[in-house]
Structure 1
Amino acid sequence: MMEQLIKRYRTLYPLKGTSGIKLMNIENKPDMKLPDDFKEIAQFYSGGLLGGISHFSISDKAEPNITRETLRLRQQSDLPHEYVVLAEPPSSLIVMNTAGTPAVLWVDATDAEHLGKRALVTPPDEWATYRDFFESLLDEEEEERDVGPFDR
């Protein structure tokens, strides 16, 4: 299954993953446990533009990255510790729930501090798994570039 996802991604972008050691370094930070599907995808996708969204770098060597942005928002807005920040599109926030489902939430920026109570003013976009989220971004990218099933 992952091979098909890699093949789809490779038709759009070169493979540039994050090493297992760098992923372990991220997980050594407080409350930064990463889901398995995220770690599998991180082996060929290290962040950047996808689906029209600029995602934070997964590696802590580049800026901005998921570790620093997550820690920053935990301090500034009381972001609950089970969330990892993936991207910050205009007036919104995309986070990964590392302790349950839905795994990925795209919330209005004003709702970020309410994530722990799930008392959100604006209903978020949700994906059950990080893989589902990633695949939806690939769908958008393929549609935008008009890449059909025979091009894969």
Structure 2
Amino acid sequence: MNGSGADPGIIPLAVRDIFDTAAEAADRVFLIRVSYMEIYNEEINDLLTLGSEKLPIHESLERGVYVSGLREEIVNNAEQVLQLLELGEANRHFGETNMNVRSSRSHTIFRMVIESSAKHQTNSGDAIRVSILVSAFDSPSYKIK
């Protein structure tokens, strides 16, 4: 999912592609937000906030299912996203197993929300477009250089 600096994985490639595509769309304005959470011992932790633990899951008609208190960062380029992923990896829970000294004992969910609207709205029928990229994984190694 993550790859390496020499051979980037799906997430870094998708993030870069999203920002390249947004840069080419001269007629649209973009707002891109990311969040990164961990499920560890059946508890949800925000990986973008140091010391965050036990975030509750809620459901509402307006928002659907969501994690209350989860930090969403507004980002302007792919490098910001990759830095946030590295920050999140540093905040993950790891433990030693018989098979691996540094084993991931958690699962993570990376979420990227891409919103766009026309720069010059000619009519009220051009709504805001929303896309969401979600990636769930449990790989303990994440290094992008």
Q: TM-score range by the shorter chain?
A: under 0.3
Higher relative contact order (CA 8 A, sep 6+): 2
Relative to the length of structure 2, the TM-score reads: 0.27
Structure of greater Rg: 2
Name the structure where strand makes up a greater proportion of residues.
2
Name the structure where helix makes up a greater proportion of residues.
1
